[in-house]
Structure 1
Amino acid sequence: MFRFLLFSLIVCTAFCSLAEAQEKKPQPPFQWVSPAPKNAPDYVQHKTFFSEANKAEVGYCILLPAGYDKPTAKGQRYPVVYWLHGGRPGGEWKAIKMASYAKQAMDDKTIPPVIYVFPNGGKLSHYDHGDSKGEQAFLELIKHVDATYRTIAERSGRAVEGFSQGGRGTGRYMFKHADLFCSAAPMGGGHQHEKRISESEGQESETLTISPPWNNTWDLAKRFAASGQQQPRILIVDGDADFNFEANKEWHEHLTKLGIKNEFIIVPGAKHSATEVYDAVGQQVMQFHVESFRQSGALKAK
């Protein structure tokens, strides 16, 4: 009996150690231009631009609508959705699965032609931190995209969206750069971490401090509410099985109390997964941006 218990303990310890090692599997080193995955979709283009803020070439992926290059479309301009990836560090391929939803919707003509751009968020995804200027790279990317492609190069023709770290980034950018976007869809963001930054003088964790400390989705909302600026249309989305769900619910209530109009879609049973959320309500999210573009005048009303 003792030998059996000892053997079981050894097996359990080995299994737990293996699981822990897999959980702590090191991330590949950050690169401003990420290599394409083996299963990269052929309908997405991988491009770079030079970032003055980072003194480096920075990668991005772009989905152009079908027919963009046809001679008959030469005079047509398109609205743009910027899709911010989750996770740290950043990489322009990290959210590329989401391109398939947009492509299918355009192919099915359930949404009109729209350009989708997938940025590289930098070493600390969507922050300027140390020598990695993720936010500055994003602002430079917008200028590059407007100069390179036939976009509607104004607020009325831009939307920002993201999940997890990208949901947090969207929540910050839509207030800091409200002059750039008419529509925003922060999804699955860890707003409890943003709240901790607000309440702890910028400290997100024992090893990470965000500067300036007001650069968080709670304080930026307060500043925005007091600014009198025109707000983008805001759609918060999260699954009720996501570990970030309660924080999203609380943040939605925070915005509402501040007088910031927003909608909140709760996805029953969806965990912390952008694809689970999009499988359920992706069409609603895409249509939300389309309606924003229509209300702003970038797209014709139905």
Structure 2
Amino acid sequence: MRTKLLLFFLIANSMVANASQVDTLKINSTAMKKIIPNLVITPNSYSTSGKKFPVLYLLHGAGNTYKDWATRIPKIKDYADQYNIIIVCPDGKTSWYFDSPIDKEMQYETYITKELVSTIDKEYNTVAQKSGRAITGQSMGGHGSFYLAFKHQDIWGAAGSLSGGVDIRPFPNNWDISKRLGSYSQNPDIWEKNTIINMLYLLNATDLKLIFECGTGDFFYDANKRLHLAMIEKNIPHDYTERPGGHNWDYWTNAIKYQLIFFDTFFQQNK
């Protein structure tokens, strides 16, 4: 009996020692004058290796919080271990990750690009350059990841989108977008300027590695298909996948696995 108990405790201690660490990092945003919580997942080798780690910024969708990626897909913590990366999940409310021209408390582009990234690089052992940073997200977060990466190719070297809202114009009354940009009828130029499918002119084909996908049963499927075709027309290299599925966590649980392989390849090639 004593031998069995000893074996049990050794196994339990080994599991704890080899588990990723999940922390909540609270940042006082100067841009928005409020405190923003962020989930930070470090791999099991973080505390012992002394090396620098690449970082994946993982954005949530509308109606979700910074906790949802880890709670809805618990294997996210295992992926941090598997790929030896730091995963950062900021709380984006229903900001769409814009700097809102009408709401001073929704300046999330500035927060993420200027405040969050610099704080992560200061507080953690990171590869503090674009070769060590990637960004992706689901739904609103898929819009946000492409939006931020397209506009800030000096920060991220790779970007993805899962079922992303890559064309917001067909949804003028949904998900608080009008609260961030004003109504489409009164501010059409702002909407046109800030929708992903109209931002391809920003891309330099050699500066940003891109991957995105969407389920064929998703209400964002048509927009993602059009984005894919527009990228082909403009000779923008990218990985695009469509498969059966809807706008839900079952789909994203499966899809994130493939994006992580893509990002791992990017990180390994840039060591």
Q: TM over 0.5: same fold? A: yes
Asked whether the 8 Å contact 1:252–1:264 carries over to 2, the reply is yes
Asked whether the 8 Å contact 2:73–2:253 carries over to 1, the reply is no
Asked whether the 8 Å contact 1:239–1:277 carries over to 2, the reply is no
Q: Which amino acid aligns with 1:187?
A: L
Structure 1 residue 77: Cα displacement: 0.5
Asked whether the 8 Å contact 2:210–2:238 carries over to 1, the reply is yes
Structure 1 residue 206: Cα displacement: 5.7
Q: CA RMSD in A?
A: 2.7
Asked whether the 8 Å contact 2:55–2:132 carries over to 1, the reply is yes
Change beyond 3 A, Cα 1:45–1:99:
farther
Q: Specify which of 184, 198, 210 is matched with residue 219 of structure 1.
A: 198
| Runs of at least 5 residues in structure 2 that lack an aligned partner in the other structure | 1-19, 173-180
Measured against aligned partners, the alpha-carbon deviations of 1:46-95 in whole angstroms (never above 9, x if no partner) come to 1111211112221100100013123xx12x1000000010005x732243
Separation in structure 2 between the aligned mates of residue 142 and residue 44 of structure 1, nearest angstrom: 18
Separation in structure 2 between the aligned mates of residue 61 and residue 99 of structure 1, nearest angstrom: 14
1:148 corresponds to which residue?
123
2:86 corresponds to which residue?
115
Name the SS for the 2:70 alignment partner: coil
Separation in structure 2 between the aligned mates of residue 151 and residue 194 of structure 1, nearest angstrom: 37
| Runs of at least 5 residues in structure 1 that lack an aligned partner in the other structure | 1-41
Q: TM-score, normalised by structure 1?
A: 0.72
Q: Specify which of 226, 237, 240 is matched with residue 264 of structure 1.
A: 240
Percent of aligned pairs with the same residue? 23
Change beyond 3 A, Cα 1:196–1:102:
closer
Q: Specify which of 98, 117, 122 is matched with residue 127 of structure 1.
A: 98
Matches within 5 A, 1:85-100: 85-88=60-63, 91-97=65-71, 100=74
Separation in structure 2 between the aligned mates of residue 171 and residue 195 of structure 1, nearest angstrom: 18
- Greater Rg over alpha carbons, structure: 1
Asked whether the 8 Å contact 2:54–2:267 carries over to 1, the reply is yes
Q: Which amino acid aligns with 2:79?
A: A
Name the SS for the 2:35 alignment partner: strand
1:69 corresponds to which residue?
47
Name the SS for the 1:95 alignment partner: helix
Name the SS for the 1:96 alignment partner: helix
Structure 1 residue 233: Cα displacement: 1.0
Name the SS for the 1:150 alignment partner: coil
1:36 corresponds to which residue?
none
Measured against aligned partners, the alpha-carbon deviations of 1:190-220 in whole angstroms (never above 9, x if no partner) come to 23325778xxxx7765698784741221221
Change beyond 3 A, Cα 1:161–1:122:
same
Separation in structure 1 between the aligned mates of residue 90 and residue 112 of structure 2, nearest angstrom: 7
Separation in structure 1 between the aligned mates of residue 130 and residue 207 of structure 2, nearest angstrom: 11
Name the SS for the 1:260 alignment partner: coil
Q: Specify which of 168, 177, 185 is matched with residue 160 of structure 2.
A: 185
1:176 corresponds to which residue?
151
Asked whether the 8 Å contact 2:40–2:88 carries over to 1, the reply is yes
Measured against aligned partners, the alpha-carbon deviations of 1:78-122 in whole angstroms (never above 9, x if no partner) come to 00000010005x732243336623322355xxx431000001124
1:291 lines up with 2:247 in the alignment: no
Name the SS for the 1:137 alignment partner: helix
